[in-house]
């Protein structure tokens, strides 16, 4: 049975008319991205052309997905919106809160015990408001979405940056903060700046050791972590068509790592095969009727330079396996060059752990290709040097893989650890033995992110990202610089052997199977469901509205921290052990910016509290200013807030009295999150002004009281010696967003509108 098939059919029914209208206003052949966007305008059929990179546009997404770590805050906000039921099909997935330690069965039960309160809360809120709930163990949000909900030409948003994974089935799927999800679930329009378009033409065919993962590892190397900001990346070409839908999903998934709004592929046979294999023949039948609208126009793909803002061409026949890292997903190194580069940079060469899984690479195909390497090593008498950890993406994949003997294959290596179908080590939910010693070491994984401390909390773990088959090969060799194309391994008989190229199965021959997929349908009538939040809970806290703006200039503000270099959402609101406070704003605020590097002493979580002149932890300093009624500001570098969609990274500073985040540039989701939560997100008009900011500065806004779209804001920076600089800052707030700021948050505005109705 396909979930929400009527909704899907209704979307397709609108397609012909909407595409015709889009053709008229745009007057040119259309990319797939434009087709999907223009088919989902809030106001119906297009009556004007929107300017890419400029116009703010209201959209009507078809569905919403949330994961447990962000759903808590999203749903706490939704509960305040005063609606009886969600307006579009929505789901929540319990995946992030499950800790990997001993292996699937024990870990799952222990995590359920530990997070009982939160899972019960999510389950009852879902029940009440008509939201499907995928219970702990059901799988990782993005795999479950791909298997059950994604459909070509659809548009969805999700409270997780890797929502973009659904581009593998030809969706425009976008990661957002919880407040955005609230808009859509409350039946309101969802706003996005019309994205620019990057076309990636894939020629040739993947072969040998090269996998879809290498396409995105390569693209990340080209575009860097901010090169996709504000853009949709559209893949096309013979190479794209030859790839499986889950492989496409991998590529789209890691589009988040280049800051792309989303990535997508045109509807093709690989998608038909995947939809059928996952029991959705009805979606195929419906999609086929409008198939011409579910891919870009031939003219666009023939002359991409004329229709995309940027075009990249990759010849898959020549692409070789890559390893990206450490500490950033865009540091791309061909496997063949790793030896030299690792030695030059002092990256540890020995590998103790190699992990396969995450929402990026945990499909059936991924597992079969990795298993083929393990099988080959066993046949050739080679024992693994590193521990292999496996996180299946969903219960359906796990069950099927177990039935087909893949788990047995992995378990032939004595040290293999099969973890729960959940995020686990990918988000620091990994109790890795010995991590507390903080030893310098390298790990390799098929996940998407590798920021410092992310997997095991150890800042000295150098994490490298690779395809599942490369991860398996590295697990066997125990070496970061192992190149399976060229290098040999010594087997039990002392012979030199070479690993054979991976082979795999796109889809299970016997079809997918599952006994209990872990889905819980909501109550038909949720009005009687009672949602309880214990006022003494350390895990959940009902939200207090943020105070509205008084309309005046902010004066006398102090610098909380000037962050140096990379400041991702992991630096602003760390995950791992902190995930447990994701539903409790005051408690989680104790991690606010503790990972950010203070530009004045290069240390984390150590700033000067200007009230006492003493060194302080960042959250404590913020609380001290707040108690004294002194507003604060945070200063940062480029691509501030890169990474996750977690709105905690905006809500925590807001809760602690930070009024403004002033940086060289923002990552998209984080900038919107700041706006939604009633913060000022500003950028230096002159980047060099970042250097003017001193540790003990005081800030007076000069013309915030005239806050208006497109108008810069000047700030007087008073240094402690009495000298002053006036710096000019820019912003991207439109009038509606300024209204959020005025109201104190977007949610305050929704509530006001709701009570006026
Ligand atoms: C991540 O991969 O960083 C996460 C954890 O999935 C986040 C969401 C979160 O912080 O809860 C994301 O990518 O948005
Ligand atoms: Fe989970 Fe990792 Fe995927 Fe985020 S990137 S959803 S933490 S598996």
Q: What average pLDDT values come out for the chain (757 residues) when binned by 10 residues?
A: 96 98 98 98 98 97 98 96 95 96 90 96 98 97 98 98 98 97 97 98 97 98 96 98 98 98 98 98 98 98 98 98 98 98 98 97 97 98 97 96 98 95 94 96 98 95 98 98 98 98 98 97 95 95 96 98 97 96 98 98 98 98 98 98 97 98 98 98 98 98 98 98 98 97 96 81
Query: How many angstroms separate the alpha carbon of residue 738 from the centre of ligand 1?
Result: 27
Q: Do you find a cis peptide bond into 374, omega within 30 degrees of 0?
A: no
CA distance 24 to 29: 10
pLDDT at residue 104 in the model: 86
CA distance 349 to 339: 8
pTM: 0.96
Q: Active-site residue 487, yes or no?
A: no
Binding pocket residue ranges, ligand 1, CB within 6 Å: 69-70, 96, 160-162, 175, 427, 449, 575, 643-646
Q: Active-site residue 646, yes or no?
A: yes
Query: How many angstroms separate the alpha carbon of residue 422 from the centre of ligand 2?
Result: 8
Would you list the DSSP string of 559-597? Answer: EEEEB-S--BHHHHB--GGGGGGTB-HHHHGGGBTTTSB
Q: Closest ligand 2 atom to the C-alpha of 95?
A: 1
The full length of the chain comes to 757
Q: Annotated catalytic residue: which of 162, 322, 462, 646?
A: 646
> How far apart, in Å, are the Cα atoms of 73 and each of 157, 210, 261, 406, 628?
16, 40, 22, 38, 28
pLDDT at residue 68 in the model: 97
pLDDT at residue 757 in the model: 66
Instruction: Give the containing element (helix H, strand E) for 673.
Output: helix 668-676
CA distance 146 to 142: 6
Q: Annotated catalytic residue: which of 96, 280, 582, 654?
A: 96
pLDDT at residue 105 in the model: 83
- Torsion from C-alpha of 350, 353, 356, 359, nearest 10 degrees: -110
Query: How many angstroms separate the alpha carbon of residue 466 from the centre of ligand 2?
Result: 15
CA distance 66 to 55: 27
pLDDT at residue 103 in the model: 87
pLDDT at residue 755 in the model: 79
């Amino acid at each position: 049975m396909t979930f929400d098939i009527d909704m899907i059919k209704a979307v397709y029914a609108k397609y012909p008319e909407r595409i015709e209208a889009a053709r008229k206003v745009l007057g040119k052949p259309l990319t797939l991205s434009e087709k999907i966007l223009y088919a989902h305008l809030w106001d119906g059929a297009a009556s004007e052309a929107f300017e890419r990179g400029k116009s703010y546009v209201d959209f009507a997404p078809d569905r919403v997905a949330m994961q447990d770590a962000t759903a808590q805050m999203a749903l706490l906000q939704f509960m305040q919106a005063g609606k009886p039921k969600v307006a579009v099909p929505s789901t929540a997935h319990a995946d992030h809160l499950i800790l990997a330690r001993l292996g699937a069965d024990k870990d799952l039960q222990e995590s359920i015990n530990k997070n009982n309160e939160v899972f019960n809360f999510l389950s009852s809120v879902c029940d009440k408001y008509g939201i499907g709930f995928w219970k702990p163990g059901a799988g990782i949000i993005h795999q479950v979405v791909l298997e059950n909900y994604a459909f070509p030409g659809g548009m969805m948003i999700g409270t997780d940056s890797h929502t973009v994974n659904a581009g593998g089935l030809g969706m425009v799927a976008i990661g957002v903060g919880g407040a955005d999800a609230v808009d859509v679930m409350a039946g309101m329009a969802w706003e996005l700046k019309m994205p620019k378009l990057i076309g990636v033409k894939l020629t040739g065919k993947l072969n040998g050791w090269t996998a879809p993962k290498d396409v995105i590892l390569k693209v990340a190397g080209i575009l860097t972590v901010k090169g996709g900001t504000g853009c949709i990346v559209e893949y096309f070409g013979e190479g794209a068509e030859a790839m499986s839908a889950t492989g496409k999903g991998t590529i789209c998934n890691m589009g988040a790592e280049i800051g792309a709004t989303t990535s997508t592929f045109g509807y093709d046979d690989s998608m038909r095969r995947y939809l059928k294999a996952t029991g959705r023949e009805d979606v195929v039948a419906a999609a086929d009727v409008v198939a011409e609208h579910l891919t870009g126009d031939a003219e666009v793909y023939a002359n991409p330079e004329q229709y995309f803002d940027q075009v990249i061409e990759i010849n898959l026949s020549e692409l070789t396996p890559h390893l990206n890292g450490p500490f950033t997903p865009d540091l791309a190194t061909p496997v063949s060059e790793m030896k030299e580069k690792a030695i030059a940079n002092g990256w540890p060469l020995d590998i103790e752990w190699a992990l396969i899984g995450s929402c990026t690479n945990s499909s059936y195909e991924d597992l079969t290709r990795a298993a083929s390497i393990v099988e080959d090593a066993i046949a050739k008498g080679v024992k693994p040097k590193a521990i292999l950890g496996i996180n299946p993406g969903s219960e359906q994949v796990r069950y099927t893989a177990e039935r087909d003997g893949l788990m047995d294959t992995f378990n032939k290596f004595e040290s293999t650890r099969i973890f729960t179908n959940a995020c686990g080590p990918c988000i620091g939910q990994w109790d890795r033995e010995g991590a507390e010693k903080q030893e310098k070491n390298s790990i390799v994984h098929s996940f998407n992110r590798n920021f410092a401390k992310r997997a095991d909390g150890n800042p000295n773990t150098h994490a490298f990202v690779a395809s599942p088959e490369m991860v398996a090969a590295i697990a066997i060799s125990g070496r970061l610089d192992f190149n399976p194309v060229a290098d040999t391994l010594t087997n039990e008989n002392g012979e030199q052997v070479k690993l054979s190229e991976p082979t795999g199965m796109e889809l299970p021959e016997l079809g997918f199977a599952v006994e209990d997929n872990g889905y819980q349908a909501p109550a038909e009538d949720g009005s009687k469901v009672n949602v309880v939040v214990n006022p003494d809970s350390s895990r959940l806290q009902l939200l207090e509205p943020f105070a509205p703006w008084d309309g005046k200039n902010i004066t006398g503000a102090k610098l909380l921290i000037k962050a140096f270099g990379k400041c991702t959402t992991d630096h602003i609101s760390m995950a791992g052990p902190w995930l447990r406070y994701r539903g409790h704003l005051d408690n989680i605020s104790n991690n606010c910016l503790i990972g950010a590097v203070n530009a004045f002493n290069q240390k984390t979580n150590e700033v000067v509290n200007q009230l006492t002149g003493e060194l302080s932890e960042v959250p404590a300093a913020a609380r001290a200013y707040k108690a004294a009624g002194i507003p604060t500001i945070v200063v940062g570098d480029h691509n501030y807030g890169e990474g996750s969609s977690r709105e905690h990274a905006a809500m925590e500073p807001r809760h602690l009295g930070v009024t403004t985040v002033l940086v060289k540039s923002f990552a998209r989701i984080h900038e919107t999150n700041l706006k939604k939560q009633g913060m000022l997100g500003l950028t230096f008009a002159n980047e060099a002004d970042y250097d003017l900011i001193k540790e003990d500065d005081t800030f007076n806004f000069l013309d915030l009281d005239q806050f208006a779209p497109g108008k810069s804001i000047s700030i007087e920076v008073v240094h402690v010696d009495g000298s002053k600089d006036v710096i000019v800052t820019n912003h991207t707030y439109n009038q509606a967003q300024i209204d959020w700021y005025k109201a104190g948050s977007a949610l305050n505005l929704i509530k006001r509108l709701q009570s006026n109705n």
